[in-house]
Amino acid sequence: MAFLQGIAASNGIAIAKAYRLVEPNLSFENKTIEDTTSEVARFQAAIEKSKAELEAIRDRAQVELGADKAAIFEAHLLVLTDPELNGPIEDKIKTEKVNAEAALKDTADMFVMMFEQMDNEYMKERAADIRDVTKRVLSHLLGVQLVNPSMIAEEVIIVAEDLTPSDTAQLNRQYVLGFTTDIGGRTSHSAIMARSMEIPAVVGTKTATEEINNGDLVIVDGLKGEVHINPTPELVAEYRKIHEQFEAQKIEWAKLVNEKTVSADDHHVELAANIGTPNDLKGVIANGGEGVGLYRTEFLYMGRDQLPTEEEQFDAYKAVLEGMNGKPVVVRTLDIGGDKELPYLQLPKELNPFLGFRAIRLCLEEQDIFRTQLRALLRASSYGNLKIMFPMIATLDEFREAKAILEEEKQKLIAAGQTVSERIELGIMVEIPSTAVLADQFAKEVDFFSIGTNDLIQYTMAADRMNQRVSYLYQPYSPSILRLVKMVIDAAHAEGKWAGMCGEMAGDETAIPLLLGLGLDEFSMSATSILKARSQIKKLNKSEMESLANQVLNMQTTAQVIEAVNNATK
Ligand code: PEP
Ligand code: MG
């Protein structure tokens, strides 16, 4: 039995066998072959095995993921059986007496290079198909298993180095009971997705992929951030009990689903949800969300090979607005860059992507992309209570420019006879320290602020939110962060505007008493945290939390703040 300590990324307990989502080692040695006839036969056998495997994957994809995902595997099957590719490989084995692995790799590399150099998107995609198919045949030649999450057909815990947002989105909730990764923090996107999918997760274990083998029994404790490998039956029994208690607690919280969020001394705050796609709305409603405080629209742009059209975006925004039935919906315009890549935009690699050409910076430069999104939003606005916010605003000039573009698109739509709501509020994310410091000036021009602490903390502390080694600097309760938060809230209130928070800190048990005391108006979090937060706030006294907040603002360290919160709320 072994034990790993990581970061609790998504609540709950999961117990199941491990499924390693780790690419196998496909390295091999070049060899000279005497018996070329049996080498060709070995190659053909690998092709046959790959074919059977791909056919099974295609059929499964057809049922579970739909025809367009299945078409990808159909294309792979065509490549696999293409004599134009297999002929030269067999010839190479026969004439050059090289092993099948070397003949396959050399020939495939040549075709990949040829296709990649063509100035034609279709041909470039074929290069990607050849690369995938080569990997599969090579795995059969080497006798190792490729990973294939869409083929998972039993309850598992995924073990991976990291999971991209699109990996996470493809996980089948029915079979994937939990996951654990080597890297990542509470605010990495895999963690955020895990919370919205309600899958218990522990990230940042550093060594999960080294220590866990396929088929090991694993306990993921998403409450404490612990992973137990091949636990004793006693520990499994203990965890089954904790799981039951957690489920019972959820039933208690569920009773608050239709209640307003009011403190013990009758102060109302709004608890909203962060969502990534219209599908997340079910969770928002089931968990009693009073609105959507952050719709991360970049997921619309991910996991595909071209930009979404205005119509596609319009449909998604309309679905969310209608689904929320008049409750507020804050839609954030495209926030791509940093850890959120869009390969098809083919942006040059940067040395410091988190500090680079991203989010509003990209939108102001690539205005076609921005204007398309704004038009879709404006057209959808009459279907509900839309608020728009811009991400990564660093200067007032950026805000003014973005607002002017929005205004231009609005006037064009109105001139063309489109209905556009007259009451769209326009706000910004406060996630760059310069904006927090200058919040009093911004407050004169924006309708609201939403504090993005995931980034605000990383930029204030100069500590990458994904980097495990500097995670000790990622301190939401640091007096420095709390002072910035206070500046933003006070600046909004001085101008009669509202201030919300959509960073993960808003749903954090230790931060909530402080944020209530600082006067935060709207808390936006993973839908699954809402009921717990509501139950916590109902027990807190706002005026007491105000004194607590005033006290901690003058403290020196995070540890002192945590102690003060614990003493005041226990
Ligand atoms: C944030 O930075 O706090 C935020 C909510 O945005 P994201 O996590 O998408 O960067
Ligand atoms: Mg951010």
45 & 180 share domain:
no
Ligand 1 atom index nearest CA of 431: 2
Q: Is any atom of ligand 1 closer than 6 Å to the C-beta of 454? A: yes
pLDDT in tens, 345-372: 888 888 898 999 999 999 999 999 999 9
28 located within any domain: no
Q: Is any atom of ligand 1 closer than 6 Å to the C-beta of 333? A: no
- Report which secondary-structure segment, H or E, holds 4: strand 2-5
CA of residue 461 to ligand 2 center, whole Å: 15
160 located within any domain: yes
15 & 40 share domain:
no
Active-site choice (76, 140, 189, 243): 189
Contact between residue 196 and residue 274 where contact means Cβ atoms under 8 Å apart? yes
189 labelled catalytic: yes
Ligand 1 atom index nearest CA of 502: 5
Q: Is any atom of ligand 1 closer than 6 Å to the C-beta of 293? A: no
Q: What CATH number does residue 92 fall under?
A: 1.10.274.10
Domain end point (choices 98, 114, 142): 142
CA of residue 456 to ligand 1 center, whole Å: 9
Q: Is any atom of ligand 1 closer than 6 Å to the C-beta of 503? A: yes
Other Cβ atoms less than 10 A from the Cβ of 213: the count is: 12
Range of the domain at 315: 267-568
123 & 196 share domain:
no
Domain end point (choices 221, 248, 275): 248
541 located within any domain: yes
Q: What CATH number does residue 201 fall under?
A: 3.50.30.10
Residue 171's pLDDT is: 74
Ligand nearest to the CA of 451: 1
254 located within any domain: no
Q: Of all protein residues, whose CA lies closest to atom 6 belonging to ligand 1?
A: 452
Q: Of all protein residues, whose CA lies closest to atom 3 belonging to ligand 1?
A: 452
CA of residue 192 to ligand 1 center, whole Å: 10
Residue 116's pLDDT is: 80
Residue 468's pLDDT is: 74
137 & 157 share domain:
no
Ligand 1 atom index nearest CA of 503: 3
Q: Of all protein residues, whose CA lies closest to atom 8 belonging to ligand 1?
A: 454
450 & 363 share domain:
yes
Residue 519's pLDDT is: 98
Q: What CATH number does residue 435 fall under?
A: 3.20.20.60
360 & 506 share domain:
yes
Give the C-alpha separation, 70 to 153, whole Å.
17
Residues lining ion ligand 2 (Cβ < 5 A) are 431, 452, 455
Domain end point (choices 142, 164, 187): 142
Total H helices, total E strands in the chain: 23, 16
Q: Is any atom of ligand 1 closer than 6 Å to the C-beta of 298? A: no
The CA-based angle 310-311-314, given to 5 degrees, is 85
Q: Among 455, 501, 508, name the best residue to mutate to test ligand 1's pocket (greatest count of ligand atoms within 8 A of Cβ).
A: 455
pLDDT tens for the chain, 570 residues long, are 899 999 899 989 999 999 999 888 899 999 999 999 999 999 999 999 999 988 888 887 777 666 766 787 888 899 999 999 899 999 999 999 999 999 999 999 999 888 888 877 777 778 878 888 999 999 999 998 888 777 788 999 999 998 876 566 667 788 999 999 998 877 777 787 788 778 899 999 999 999 999 999 999 999 999 999 999 999 999 999 999 999 999 999 999 999 999 999 999 999 999 998 898 899 999 999 999 999 999 989 987 889 999 999 999 999 999 999 999 999 999 999 876 778 888 888 888 989 999 999 999 999 999 999 999 999 999 999 999 999 999 999 999 999 999 999 999 999 999 999 999 999 999 999 999 999 999 999 999 999 999 999 999 999 988 777 888 899 999 999 999 999 999 999 999 999 999 999 999 999 999 999 999 999 999 998 999 999 999 999 999 999 999 999 999 999 999 999 999 998
Pick from 360, 376, 256: nearest CA to 311:
376
- Report which secondary-structure segment, H or E, holds 132: helix 121-142
Ligand nearest to the CA of 186: 1
522 & 429 share domain:
yes
Residue 371's pLDDT is: 98
The CA-based angle 64-65-67, given to 5 degrees, is 110
411 & 536 share domain:
yes
Other Cβ atoms less than 10 A from the Cβ of 554: the count is: 9
Q: Which residues of 340-356 are buried (b: 16+ CB within 10 A; e: fewer)?
A: bebeeeebeeeeeeeeb
Q: Is any atom of ligand 1 closer than 6 Å to the C-beta of 280? A: no
204 & 277 share domain:
no
Q: Is any atom of ligand 1 closer than 6 Å to the C-beta of 455? A: yes
185 & 228 share domain:
yes
106 & 202 share domain:
no
Q: How many domains does the chain have?
A: 3
The gap from C-alpha 91 to its chain's centroid, in whole angstroms, comes to: 46
68 & 122 share domain:
yes
The gap from C-alpha 338 to its chain's centroid, in whole angstroms, comes to: 12
Ligand 1 atom index nearest CA of 298: 9
Residue 191's pLDDT is: 83
